[in-house]
Structure 1
Amino acid sequence: MRTPVAMTLGLVLAPCGLLLNLISTLAPGWRLVKGFLDQPVDVVLLQGLWDLCREQSSRERACGQTDEWGYFAAQPVQVARGLMVTSLAINGLGLLLAALGVRCWREEPHFALAGLSGVVLFVAGLFSLIPVSWYTHYLGDRDVLPAPASPVTLEASYSLVLGYLGSCLLLLGGFSLALSFAPWCAELCSRGRKAPPAGLRRSSISTVYVDWPEPALTPAIKYYSEGQHRPPPADRGAPSKPKVGFPMPRPPPKAYTNPMDVLDGEQEKAAPSQGTSSRSTRPCQSSLPCDSDL
């Protein structure tokens, strides 16, 4: 398995942030003081957390200057010393956890350990960003950070810029490594779904089978053979079920019937005509008119 992009980005940004914070902590360049009345014009004083350096024309530099104004006793300087050192220690711990968690030489990294290292690196970025921001806020306040009176000017120096960059890189790198918690949480959720507790298992809808009755078709289509209606194959040989109900009356046939007796008087007329006619005329036995009458 290739190393995820988020882990690679975190492993690149975190060491860069550590290096920049280390330079910012040790270098005497948090504040630049210049414009001394009793000194040459090109003389500047660099104030850091641990040392004071006098620089002239960018060629001559003398560190270990005497703190005449009580700069190192200021609260922002004391707090910045403790927080910057703490940030460097936490940063080293986070990089150690990241190296053990990512393990690029293995097939799959340890996502939980890599995510934990991201959280540690993010905290290290916060510990370095707080003192840098606090120092910048009181940079021009001579009551909080002592400095010579005007017309001496106070400016931010390179150590503050490196401190901001290092803190931002640590925050970004820690956030990238903390994204490793997502695969780890997804794996835990999948394990929980595959193996639920035996007492809480519920029946699944997919295991319920419904035996729907087969729809009845027209006997002429399904059971008509050899000129007869036959029972379904499943019903052959089975005892016939008793019929329930009562017979309906059959309607009378629709035939023509004459309510009048059309043979009325034919019997008397047929007797005298028997001697004179050679044709035998027998009365019709039907209720319809005879052919001779028609």
Structure 2
Amino acid sequence: MPSQRTQEWMRTSLRTPGILIFGMVMAPCGWILNLTATVAPNWRTLNALPSSPPDEFIQQGIWEICRATTVQTRADCTLQDTEYFGSQVIEVAQGLMVASLVVTLIGLAVAIPGVRCWKDRPNWLLAGLGGILIFLSGVMTIIPIAWYTHILNEVPTVFPTIDVRVGYCIILGYIGGIFEILGGFVMFIGICRCCGGKNRGEKRVEQVTGARFDSRRQPARRVEVPSLDRARSEASSVPYSRDSLDEDVSFPRAKSPAARSANTSYGGRPYEADL
């Protein structure tokens, strides 16, 4: 039984496919948000501290703890809490957040050579591998963020906690992780051709050549041009016509001069040649 001929595909445009553009935009945005969530000391906020002014609160991150007030803009980040930093969730968050930042950079470095738009065809294998790394970096961000949020009130600390609130680092971490997961997954889709090649911006060669052949065989469309000649109407709005001017004239015309005869002789003195 003869083997089926492998179908050939052709790119319809030299532009970078939309899935690669989407991934290359979402990944750096997610990396910036994750970097902010990693270094900023605001994973949770402790408010209404006993024996403290009412405007004073404590911000706890995965690397440092700061004491701040609503009046002063500067915070004191020299606080130490061995019980807080010794908890398991903090140790896991420190490792996974740093690993996520590194893996995202590696994924971008792998994907950039495959996404280059100055080639006729992108390197889908490199772009897909870069998408996998970016996807994994997003997962490594979501794991510690979700775990810390789940046990927000149970994380041990030497500071008495009365009012515990979620910090902005949790929100930025969620958004950054989702950006990286979406961007990496969309880039990974390019490894396999799906949706009739629309994800890669490609079409079958038979479809492209067949469409061109059909367009050449189509006859030229005939366009009906309206005629500019109009029949002269008997009931014209003009009170006179050109013919009536030639026929009916109410004033005498100047007579045209008579044509000179070729044999007209000179009326003066005759010459010998005239005799």
Please report the TM-score for the alignment, with normalisation by the length of structure 1: 0.59
The Cα of 1:108 is off from its aligned counterpart by 1.6
1:111–1:183 CA contact under 8 A, matched in 2: no
Check if 1:96 corresponds to 2:123.
Answer: no
| Mapping of residues 30-45 of structure 1, within 5 Å | 30-45=43-58
Residue 120 of structure 1 is matched in structure 2 by 133
Alpha-carbon distance in structure 1 between the residues aligned to 2:30 and 2:124? 22
2:24–2:183 CA contact under 8 A, matched in 1: yes
Alpha-carbon distance in structure 1 between the residues aligned to 2:20 and 2:82? 47
Check if 1:145 corresponds to 2:172.
Answer: no
Residues 50, 115 of structure 1: CA spacing in aligned structure 2 closer, same or farther, 3 A cutoff? same
Letter in 2 for 1:127: M
| Mapping of residues 206-245 of structure 1, within 5 Å | none
Residue 168 of structure 1 is matched in structure 2 by 178
Could you tell me which of 129, 132, 140 is aligned with 2:142?
A: 129
Letter in 2 for 1:173: G
Unaligned stretches of 5+ in structure 2? 1-13, 198-275
Letter in 2 for 1:148: F
Instruction: Name the larger-Rg structure.
Output: 1
2:108–2:130 CA contact under 8 A, matched in 1: yes
Residue 124 of structure 2 is matched in structure 1 by 111
1:101–1:110 CA contact under 8 A, matched in 2: yes
2:50–2:160 CA contact under 8 A, matched in 1: no
CA distances 1:177-208 after superposition (whole Å, capped 9, x unpaired): 00110239x99xxxxxxxxxxxxxxxxxxxxx
The Cα of 1:60 is off from its aligned counterpart by 3.2
Check if 1:72 corresponds to 2:85.
Answer: yes
| Mapping of residues 250-265 of structure 1, within 5 Å | none
Residue 277 of structure 1 is matched in structure 2 by none
Alpha-carbon distance in structure 2 between the residues aligned to 1:23 and 1:71? 21
CA distances 1:202-239 after superposition (whole Å, capped 9, x unpaired): xxxxxxxxxxxxxxxxxxxxxxxxxxxxxxxxxxxxxx
Alpha-carbon distance in structure 2 between the residues aligned to 1:69 and 1:33? 17
Alpha-carbon distance in structure 1 between the residues aligned to 2:46 and 2:138? 28
Alpha-carbon distance in structure 1 between the residues aligned to 2:164 and 2:56? 13
Residues 9, 55 of structure 1: CA spacing in aligned structure 2 closer, same or farther, 3 A cutoff? same
Residue 234 of structure 2 is matched in structure 1 by none
Letter in 2 for 1:145: P
SS in 2 for 1:71: helix
Residue 21 of structure 1 is matched in structure 2 by 34
Could you tell me which of 157, 177, 188 is aligned with 1:178?
A: 188
Unaligned stretches of 5+ in structure 1? 188-294
Alpha-carbon distance in structure 2 between the residues aligned to 1:109 and 1:90? 22
Residues 2, 68 of structure 1: CA spacing in aligned structure 2 closer, same or farther, 3 A cutoff? closer
CA distances 1:258-292 after superposition (whole Å, capped 9, x unpaired): xxxxxxxxxxxxxxxxxxxxxxxxxxxxxxxxxxx
1:139–1:145 CA contact under 8 A, matched in 2: no
% of aligned pairs identical? Answer: 38
The Cα of 1:54 is off from its aligned counterpart by 1.2
1:138–1:145 CA contact under 8 A, matched in 2: no
The Cα of 1:147 is off from its aligned counterpart by 5.0
Residue 207 of structure 1 is matched in structure 2 by none
